[in-house]
Amino acid sequence: MPEAEVDPPLLSNADLATIFHEIGDMLEVKGELVFKTVAYHRAADAIAHEPVELARLYREGNPPKVAGVGQAISDKLAELSRTGRLDFYDRLVAEVPAGLLGLLRVPGVGPKTVRILYESLGIDGLDELRRAAQAGRLRTVKGLSEKTEASILAGIASLETRSNRMLLGVAEALVDGLVAELSTIPGVSRVEPAGSYRRRRETIGDLDLLAETTDAGVLVQHFSGLPGVERVLGAGAHKAAIRLSGGPQVDLMIMPPGEAGTYLIHFTGSKDHNIRLLGIARERGWSLSEKGYLRLAEEAEPVIRGTDARSTAPELRTFSTEEEAYAFLGLPFIEPELREDRGEIEAAQAGTLPSLIRLVDLRGDLHSHSDWSDGVHSIEQMAEAARARGHAYQVLTDHTRSLAIARGLTPDRVRLQRAVVAQLNTRFEREEADGRAPAATPDEGFRLLHGCELEIRADATLDYDDDLLAQYDVVVASVHVGRSQTREQLTQRVLAAIRSPYVDVIAHPAGRKVQGRDDLNLDWDLVFAEAARTGTALEMNGSDHRLDLADQRARRAIATGCLLALDSDAHRIEEFRHLEWAVGQARRAWVEPAMVLNTRSRAELLAWVAGKATRLAARG
DNA sequence: GCCGTTTTCGGCCCGACTGTTTTCAGTCG
């Protein structure tokens, strides 16, 4: 047979990360040096977070430097990118039974235990482990007992019922409830959420809470007995952990009053950020843990002292605030959303940390729906709710004709809707004049702006003609159908929308769903470049199941010079809170107010919209 | 396996809790 040289399909960064995580797991079970396994996991995380498509760059012979990827892993990446396979990985898979990796997921079972179970009882899967534990065979192994058996059975059960990582909305509801409950316990003066929730990561695994109290025993006892507790995972003098039924694990840490600074830093993380801080502390002769900074011991004295040499406790420095704790290292305060070791330490040292956008910087919202298409509340209800938030504008962007499933508007309905909007604005204007409505700012009251969420059709045409589009205040365009087209087709569709003089914003550009659907296969470099060139804003959609653009992509977009829009995509009045999550995600992307279209006043926004149409139309 | 304005070798975060033990190992965050 003639050998046709066909390139194997490109592996995504997520595929590559999975492979290296599995390598790390297999090496752990094999009993390989811990630091080597950690190196693989670290590299896998770095690969997963890379905003560029690594396999493609490797194949083009232009691999970027990735932190945590050295020569050995880089060679493996090259092999995977070129051939789609990795000999080293295949050999490991042949050597380590697949079921062993599943055992690692059981809480309380680590690589050492997996190894012992396999070598002494031949257990290489979850079902076998369960049967062996139920039959009381684990206790026959040296180092394991009846108690271990019970805890492994409980671990398997919780693994099977455990929900995945939570979306922000779910986490927020739980955190609010827990903080409210714990705050009422006698002696408790303060309860603070920490962890990935405080860093506003897009999904949350465990919840971390920090508390100040004068009576740790009472707090831990109440905490362990909260309604909804399925199991108490641990309860000590300084910390406790519970699992909520059908929900996440909640860790509670108790802080001595007045020493919150390093506790907040330690338990907010991320781990990588903390490791960097520790490194800086060590350079200065201090160790760092949640308890504070501990003076490192001097080098051992070579001279043998008499028996009267007294060892005194090393000096401990504690701080009541994070600002002070960072200042001890010569650093300014670093916002929680930045603490991922993605350059924030260097920026802090250089004095170039960004002034992150805040919710109060937003003057309006460019994307929302009403019951005219697939929203729940009426135009008036949505407008009233937006006005109550103190905004200067809300853009009503119901779906367009071809998105029939969302009751997209026909051109006739569009004209009717415009009249409704105009009527409402007349009332708002009158109420302001009468002093009956709160002005959003001293110089600008609230107006509902008329827009649409314009469908970018599968054939790369837009859903309405230019004459109709020209009548809108603001147009956001997005892809809903034909998601599985080729990279070239999808990219051309988005570029066509970006190049329209009448499209102002590309909504949820990646078309992703958190934990549900991958990003559209777009040539992002091209999309960002064209958006920057034409002055088309890219949306950071705040819905907690979208969060699109995601943080790393958005960071790349602003590096290319793109303007962003932070939107709620509210389909009901409660969903205006999505703006808070859009802001959280934007802060994780190092976004400053000037990079965001809807931090501008209404007059500035409308001038900008008119500017794009004029500029591009003049260019032909 | 990665990494280096004090290192190309020798480090790689620290501490609480739990369980099986008479001083510690494994796991977790």
Query: What is the residue-wise DSSP string for A17-31?
Result: HHHHHHHHHHHHHHT
Which nucleotide has its C1' atom closest to residue A147's CA? B19
Instruction: Return the CATH superfamily for domain A166-257.
Output: Beta Polymerase, domain 2 (3.30.460.10)
Closest of A581, A586, A588 to residue A564, by C-alpha: A586
CA distance A399 to A454: 6
Alpha carbon distance, N-terminus to C-terminus of chain A: 54
Q: Is A310 exposed, middle or buried (0-12, 13-18, 19+ CB in 10 A)?
A: exposed
Topology of the domain comprising A368-619: TIM Barrel (3.20.20)
Amino acid at A403: L
Please, which residues have CB within 8 angstroms of residue A71's CB and are 6 or more apart in sequence? none
Q: Are strands A249-255 and A239-244 parallel, antiparallel or unpaired?
A: antiparallel
The residues of chain A scoring below 70 in pLDDT are 1-5, 162-163, 298-313, 438-443, 617-620
Distance A330 CA to B25 C1' (A): 38
In chain A, domain spans: 13-161, 166-257, 266-350, 368-619
Whole-angstrom Cα distance, residue A145 to residue A88?
Answer: 37
**The CATH fold of domain A266-350:** Beta Polymerase; domain 3 (3.30.210)
The encoded tokens of residue A104 equal 């690692």
What integer best gives the mean pLDDT of chain A?
90
| SS3 (DSSP) at A444 | strand
Number of helices (H), then strands (E), in chain A: 24, 17
Which nucleotide is closest to A114, CA to C1'?
B26
Q: What is the pLDDT of residues A537-590, one digit of tens each?
A: 999 999 998 999 999 999 999 999 999 999 999 999 999 999 999 999 999 999
Nearest nt by C1' to A269 Cα? B29
Question: Is the CB of residue A274 inside 7 Å of nucleic acid strand B?
Answer: yes
CA distance A211 to A256: 9
Q: What is the H or E stretch that residue A130 is in?
A: helix A126-134
Which tokens is A22 given? 């599995």
Structure tokens at A20: 């290296």
Closest CA to A66 of A93, A47, A90: A47
Indicate the DSSP class of residue A392.
S
Give the pLDDT of residue A1: 45
A319-CA/B20-C1' distance, Å: 38
Rounded, the Å distance between the CA of A178 and C1' of B12 is 37
A28, A31, A36, A38: CA torsion to nearest 10: 30
pTM over 0.95: no
Q: What amino acid is encoded at A72 in this protein?
A: A
Strand B, nucleotides < 7 Å from a protein CB: these are 1-3, 6, 11-21, 25-29
pLDDT at A439: 62
* Measured distance CA(A591)–CA(A583) in Å, rounded: 9
> Dihedral of CA A106/A109/A115/A117: which sign?
negative
Could you write out the three-class secondary structure of A82-120? HHCCCHHHHHHHHHCCHHHHHHCCCCCCCHHHHHHHHHH
**Is the minimum distance from the CB of A291 to strand B below 7 Å?**
yes
The residue type of A13 is N
d(CA A244, CA A231) in angstroms, rounded, equals 7
Q: How far apart are CA A139 and CA A271, in angstroms?
A: 35
CATH superfamily placement of domain A13-161: 5' to 3' exonuclease, C-terminal subdomain (1.10.150.20)
For residue A296, give the nucleotide whose C1' atom is nearest its CA.
B14
A294 touches strand B (CB under 7 A): yes
Which strand ranges, in their side-by-side order, compose the sheet holding A286-289? A286-289, A292-295, A316-317
- Please say whether the beta carbons of A496 and A462 come within 8 A: yes
- Which residues from the 118-177 window of protein chain A have CB within 7 angstroms of nucleic acid chain B? 142-148, 151
pLDDT for the residue numbered A309: 41
Chain A residues 340 to 359 with C-beta below 7 Å from nucleic strand B: none
